[in-house]
Amino acid sequence: MATADTPVLLMVSGGSDSTALAYLAADLVAAGRLGAVTMLHVNHKLRGEASDGDARFVSDLANGLGFPLFMCDIDVAELVARSGGNMEAIARAERYKAAREALESTCLHMGFPFEAGRVFTAHTADDRMENFYMRSIVGTGPGGFRSMRHDVMLEGCRVCRPLLEEGRDDLRAYIKVRDGVISDEAGQLWREDATNADTDRFRAFVRHEIIPLAKQRNPKLLETLTRTMNLIADEDDMLDARAREVLVTLATPLGSTIRDGVLLAPELREQEGPLVRRVLDRLLSMMLPHDERVESASIKACMKGLGESGYVANIQGDLAVSYNKHGLRIEPMKAFRARRKR
């Protein structure tokens, strides 16, 4: 994910996972395996003095490890009140916007092109397992049960998750035996977020109610499920690669950008159903607004139209789906209506 010549920005909240990430990065710098490392802490202003205590702890941690630190205060509650959006989604989006700005600054001052930079997050195998069960409950789309990718593009940044194969208990044990650890005012080696214990929150419910029951049946659940998710990920990568090949071969843009519309050649009907679904999922994810989830009903509507001349449907994002002898056409409804009037 990175070398001694890669600028790396660590996202550090002060919890055990990100604290372990900071210590591991320091060990890698000492071993000559990482070079230009900086840290970012985002204070969401959601927990009063506890949030400020997190910021102080991370500041001490950065000073102790010798890492430059970016600090960012974002009043998430105010943003939620203004927009009416989901608090967790807004907080996440703001974190990654801050990460992009911090990484841009890091690369500029250290003389690296921005594309060379990496953002490291402290997602663990436990986070991945929680995602797996959360998606099992609410449903998921193609590839969803791989749970998390090790490497992904977010807000234009390459985001890497180097701890995704590691368990939270192992990371906490590593902190406890490491030399030179930093503690907060209460002598704690990392900061605990009390909201993580609130089982009214979906993730906390899965973490404290579902997973302990599953571990009663299989004490090695984390290891077993991580291995299973990696197998799913391998198959998902293969299907993704085939979907990209089909898109390159059979998709024709209708304008200067993908959001202007796409024509899929009739030969798409000859592909296997799972591959067609994957092609449509990838295509719609590019046509819809950033982070909008592709609905299964939209994919079903597109598949229904394949080979059915005269077919027309309106799907999410106010997209028009139509079919004729030239193939399946997906475009903004406004463009579809203007074309039909001509």
| 309: CATH | 3.30.465
**Residues in Cβ contact with 40 at an 8 Å cutoff, skipping those fewer than 6 apart:** 9, 10, 11, 12, 69, 70, 71, 72, 98, 99, 102
pLDDT at 177: 96
Is 276 in contact with 303 (CB distance < 8 Å)? yes
- Whether 256 and 200 map to the same domain: the answer is no
The answer to the question of whether 285 is labelled as a binding residue is no
Residue 1 forms part of a structural domain = no
Q: What is the CATH number of the domain that holds 201?
A: 3.40.50.620
- Whether 209 and 245 map to the same domain: the answer is no
Give helix 87-110 / helix 76-83 axis angle, nearest 10°. Answer: 120
pLDDT at 291: 74
- Whether 86 and 206 map to the same domain: the answer is yes
pLDDT at 143: 87
Residue 46 forms part of a structural domain = yes
Our CA angle for 94, 202, 128, nearest 5°, is 75
The answer to the question of whether 83 is labelled as a binding residue is no
Residue 231 forms part of a structural domain = no
Please spell the DSSP secondary structure of 110-159, one letter per residue. HT--GGG-EEE----HHHHHHHHHHHHHH---TTGGG---SEEEETTEEE
The answer to the question of whether 16 is labelled as a binding residue is yes
- Whether 64 and 201 map to the same domain: the answer is yes
Q: Which of 299, 142, 158 is nearest to 236 (CA)?
A: 142
Q: Where are the beta strands (DSSP E) in 251-296?
A: 251-253, 262-264
- Whether 154 and 38 map to the same domain: the answer is yes
Is 103 in contact with 117 (CB distance < 8 Å)? yes
What SS3 state is found at 295? coil
- Whether 259 and 146 map to the same domain: the answer is no
pLDDT tens digits, the chain, 342 residues: what are they?
A: 999 999 999 999 999 999 999 999 999 999 999 999 999 999 999 888 999 999 999 999 999 999 999 999 999 999 999 988 888 889 999 999 999 999 999 999 999 999 999 999 999 999 999 999 999 999 998 889 999 999 999 888 999 999 999 999 999 999 999 999 999 999 999 999 888 888 889 999 999 999 999 999 999 999 999 999 999 999 999 999 999 999 999 999 999 999 999 999 999 999 999 999 999 999 999 999 877 899 999 999 999 999 999 999 999 999 999 999 999 999 999 999 998 886
**Residues in Cβ contact with 301 at an 8 Å cutoff, skipping those fewer than 6 apart:** 313, 315, 321
Residue 108 forms part of a structural domain = yes
- Whether 171 and 273 map to the same domain: the answer is no
The answer to the question of whether 147 is labelled as a binding residue is no
The answer to the question of whether 13 is labelled as a binding residue is yes
Alpha-carbon gap, residue 35 to 279, rounded angstroms: 39
Q: Which of 134, 13, 28, 130 is nearest to 74 (CA)?
A: 13
- Whether 243 and 210 map to the same domain: the answer is no
pLDDT at 244: 97
Residue 97 forms part of a structural domain = yes
Q: Which two tokens stand for residue 250?
A: 């059979």
Q: Which of 139, 130, 100 is nearest to 211 (CA)?
A: 130
Domain total for the chain?
Answer: 2
Host domain of residue 292: 239-341
The answer to the question of whether 18 is labelled as a binding residue is yes
- Whether 202 and 245 map to the same domain: the answer is no
Residue 220 forms part of a structural domain = no
pLDDT at 20: 98
- Whether 80 and 181 map to the same domain: the answer is yes
Alpha-carbon gap, residue 221 to 209, rounded angstroms: 15
Q: Which long-range contacts (CB under 8 A, 24 or more apart) does 18-22 make?
A: 18/121, 18/122, 19/61, 19/175, 19/189, 19/190, 19/191, 20/122, 20/163, 20/171, 20/172, 20/174, 20/175, 20/190, 21/120, 21/121, 21/122, 21/162, 21/163, 22/61, 22/62, 22/65, 22/67
Q: Which of 299, 298, 297, 325 is nearest to 311 (CA)?
A: 325
Residue 234 forms part of a structural domain = no
- Whether 210 and 243 map to the same domain: the answer is no
pLDDT at 197: 85
Q: Which two tokens stand for residue 261?
A: 């519309």
Residue 225 forms part of a structural domain = no
Alpha-carbon gap, residue 269 to 139, rounded angstroms: 26
pLDDT at 194: 85
pLDDT at 196: 85
Q: In the listed set 214, 229, 254, which residue is the last one of a domain according to the structure?
A: 214
Q: Which two tokens stand for residue 89?
A: 């989604």
Q: In the listed set 155, 179, 214, which residue is the last one of a domain according to the structure?
A: 214
- Whether 210 and 318 map to the same domain: the answer is no
Give the global pTM.
0.90
Report the first-to-last Cα separation within the chain, whole angstroms. Answer: 52
CA-based R_g, the chain, Å: 23
Buried-exposed string 183-215: b where 16+ CB fall within 10 A, e elsewhere: ebeeeebbbeeeeeeeeeeebebbbeebbeeee
